[in-house]
Amino acid sequence: MGRITFQKRQKEMKRQEKQKLKAERREQKKLEKPASPEASIDTSSEARTGGFDFSDDDTPRRPQQPKA
């Protein structure tokens, strides 16, 4: 009977330790977050257009491939 109680105690201690570590990681992530959310947004023209070339007539054109 004593062995089971000891195992339960060990399991509970392990669970509490894991919970503590997760809380610390969450806190660390919070501190490391970039100051402004815009810093991580890709604003390059290729990202905005999806690789298409939009000319004055607003018709999306794919890059031309050489003809065989």
For 43-56, write each residue's pLDDT tens digit: 665 566 666 666 66
| Cβ atoms 29, 19 nearer than 8 A | no
| Cβ atoms 54, 60 nearer than 8 A | yes
Q: Whole-model pTM?
A: 0.43
State how far the Cα of 30 lies from the Cα of 58, in Å rounded to an integer: 42
Chain length of the chain: 68
Q: For residue range 23-37, what is the model confidence (pLDDT) as tens digits? A: 999 999 999 886 655
Identity (one letter) of the amino acid at 2? Answer: G
The radius of gyration of the chain's CA atoms, rounded to the nearest angstrom, is: 28
Going from N- to C-terminal start, the domains of the chain cover 1-28
